[in-house]
Every structure is written in C-alpha cells, then in structure tokens.
Structure 1
Amino acid sequence: MDDLTPVLVCAVLFIGLPWVILHYITKWKQAPRITEEDERLLDEMQALARRLEDRVMTVERIIAADNPDWKPGLGTTQSPYLSDLQSDRTSDRRN
C-alpha cells in the first residue's frame, strides 16, 4: 500500500485535478448567455416598473393632499429613478 500512495497522489494531482478544472471551464463556456431579445425585454420591464412607480407616487401625493393623517409610503421617499423618470418624460414629449 505504501508503494501505491505516491502514484495515487501524482495521478490525482496531474490527471484528476486538471480534468475537473477543464470540465467545469467547458461547462461554464457552454452556459446560456443573455440574448438581445432578453435584454430588450428587461429594458421594457424596467421602463414599466418606472412608470408604475411614478403612478404610485402620484396616487400617494393625491391621497396625502386629501387626508393629512394618512401615512405615505413609497411616494414620499426620493426614488433612485426620479431623474430617469423626468428624462423619460422629456424624451416622450419630444417624440
């Protein structure tokens, strides 16, 4: 058994380990990538989410104006998309 141990260690190091690494590199390269259609769909979904957020903010402002005791949620916080929404509105008006 002692004579077999160094051979086994060398086989694992020089055959087994590179085989495992190359196997997973091949699997990684074969993994599906995002297509142009997927990117377009994601862009459309992001634009829809921004419009919906704008609508919620508008409704919350209206409710807050009508009922001073109402505790607003999303609409009172500064949205990270607010500048994007404003730029989207200006670009929509130009078209």
Structure 2
Amino acid sequence: MSGFMVFPIVVFLVVVAPLWLILHYRSKKQLGEGLSVQETAQLNQLVERAEQLQKRVRTLESILDVEAPNWRNQE
C-alpha cells in the first residue's frame, strides 16, 4: 500500500509543486507591478469617455426639465 502512494507523491513534488510555486510567484509579481502603460492609456480613455457621457446625460436631463417638468415622476 505504501509503494502505491510513493509514485504520485514523487511526481507531485518533482513536477507539480515547482510549477505551482513558479506560477504563483510570477502572478504575485505582476500584481505588484500595477498597470502597464497601455492599460493606463486605455483607462484614461475610458475615464474621458465616461465624463463625456455624463455631460451628455446632464444636458439631456436639463432639456427634459424644461420641456417636460414632471418627466422624473413618470413610471
């Protein structure tokens, strides 16, 4: 019975455990580095687009407030 368990344990310790540790610490390193230059640029573009959309919504709401004062209370 103990001979049956030796092979899987050896395979785990020789193959799986080192790969697991390498991949774990590589992902920890990437998380610690933060965003790349491309990701930061994309994030800035998304923020700018969100601000533009927010301005449009405010403009549309102000138009609706003038043309249909009770539009917010309608369901």
- Give the structure-2-normalised TM-score: 0.57
> Mind listing any 5+ residue stretches in structure 1 that lack a counterpart?
73-95
Instruction: Summarize deviations over 1:6-37 as a string: whole Å, max 9, x none.
Output: 4235414532441341353376368xx74213
**How many residue pairs were aligned?**
69
Q: Which has the higher contact order (CA 8 A, sep 6+)?
A: 1
SS at match of 2:71: coil
Matching residue of 1:43: 44
Look up the equivalent residue of 1:5 and give its one-letter code.
Answer: F
Percent sequence identity over aligned pairs: 22
Structure 2, gaps ≥5 residues long: none
CA RMSD of aligned residues (A): 3.1
Higher helix share: 2
- TM-score normalised by structure 1 residue count: 0.49
Give the 5 Å matches for 1:62-77: 62-71=63-72
Shift >4 Å, 4+ stretches: none
